[in-house]
Amino acid sequence: MSDEPKDGGGARRGLKPGSRLAGGRKPKAPAAKPPELPKKNPRRPFSARALAILVLARVRATDAFLNIALDTVLDEFRPDERDAGLVTELCYGSTRRQQQLDDAITAYADRKLEKIEDRVLAALRIGAYQRFFMRVPPHAAVAATVDALKELGLMRATGFVNALLRKVGDEPPAGHNHPQWLVDRWTRHFGAEETARIIEADNTAPEVVARINRTRTTRDELLAALPGSRPTAVSPLGLVLPSGRPEDLFGYEEGLWQVQDEAAQLVGLYAAVPPRARVLDACAAPGGKSCHLAEDHQVVSLDVHANKLDKIRREAARLGLKLDVRQADAAKLPEALGEFDAVLLDAPCSGLGTLRRHPELRFRRGPEDLPRLASLQRALLESCQQRVKPGGLLVYAVCTTEPEEGADQIELFLRSHPDFTAEPPPASAGTFPTWQAYLRTLPGPSGMDGFFAARLRRMY
């Protein structure tokens, strides 16, 4: 149920998959085929730690997104709820704290990290994570991690892992778990205090937030039916879900709500598209904003990747919403689509506003990626503006903190398109966190992802 970044691995964003990893090293070339998962013995299912090793090894070997690799392994091996929770904690926690873990491992390893086999390095990371950040007795953390390697047939590595994990101690090295280039940029743009808040938020597990389906329920009704839930602070449509698998909670099968971060919900509200308008969602996957708009608009949802279209259709069907879902490249929109009252371009971007949900991205992105992405976004804007009818809206959104992909991008667009003007939403749309009249959220105490959105009116 996680909202994965929109590029499905980097290709759609114009990125090479995984441009930078911890310590500045270049990643290994993605494997042509993901490593095969071990065969499960039904009489001796893998432990949570063994499954976590499999997930992290796959992420490292193939530059897979963590949430997708995790879902694949959990679907394959189906551990009980308690073990699934532990696998998730080990995978996400050790990825969020990877820089500190790697510094501790490097201090005692007799070889460079890039020379350590994927599954062995994964074991070292989850072993150190347990010692530093979980209430697991040191001897138990080491023994359970070594046992997990034995389950996976890696007896030859157990001595190395056992000896190293016993040396790392119980206190982690100091570190912010973000690349220095990004910390320096944030400090220049937002100041030291705001940067510290962003880093703290990125290193904290996010809560699961949902948006109500207004065609089937109200927020008050859903809050009453979901003990332990609470309303979101800014979005009038959101609620923080109680703990547990979202799919197991009341209202999921009934299509009463959809998982969506509060900042992403605000994009749909900020757009303030008039009711019953004809709307184009040009880069629709994974479909949250399309479904939000489809509650009271005629929506055409496009995505360049055919394999993502079925997911959008299934979500719309679960919610009882009508979507016209098609495959198309937003950079080359066919004229046959016609013109729209509103076009939403939720553009491919660096995803640097979502590092708490996608911690594996923090060392895959480099400063060299930003101009390449900005160029892609300009091409998409140029294509999408052609489908906006006179008097219509072009809504641009990105889940990033970086100005090249946000405000700078829009200023460049407006200078070259005098027929468009930036326009704030009407007061009736609500109150939003804004910067220079644009929607902007930053990770921090609010619990939101980092988003930017602009609302552009075509005057003629």
Distance between terminal CA atoms of the chain?
41
Contact between 15 and 369 (Cβ < 8 Å): yes
* Owner of token pair 């101690």: 169
- Collapsed DSSP state (helix, strand, coil) of residue 456: strand
Nearest-angstrom CA–CA distance, 316 and 279: 16
Q: Could you say which of 91, 283, 384, 399 is catalytic?
A: 399
Residues in a beta bridge with 397: 346, 453
Contact between 118 and 20 (Cβ < 8 Å): no
Q: Is 307 exposed, middle or buried (0-12, 13-18, 19+ CB in 10 A)?
A: exposed
Contact between 348 and 376 (Cβ < 8 Å): yes
Nearest-angstrom CA–CA distance, 270 and 431: 9
Contact between 250 and 212 (Cβ < 8 Å): no
Q: Report the amino acid identity of residue 155.
A: M
291 in catalytic set: no
DSSP class per residue in 293-351: HHTTSEEEEEES-GGGHHHHHHHHHHHT---EEEE--GGG--GGG--EEEEEEE-----
Pair of tokens at residue 370? 């930003």
Contact between 70 and 88 (Cβ < 8 Å): yes
Bridge pairing between strands 324-327 and 298-303: parallel
If one counts every other C-beta atom within 10 angstroms of the C-beta of residue 56, the result is 27
Nearest-angstrom CA–CA distance, 59 and 169: 26
Q: Name which of 282, 285, 232 is nearest 261 in CA terms.
A: 232
Nearest-angstrom CA–CA distance, 208 and 205: 10
Residues in a beta bridge with 346: 397
Q: Which letter does DSSP use for residue 85 in this model?
A: H
Q: Which letter does DSSP use for residue 44 in this model?
A: B
Phi, psi of 4 (to 5 degrees): -70, 155
Residues in a beta bridge with 69: none
Residues belonging to the active site:
399
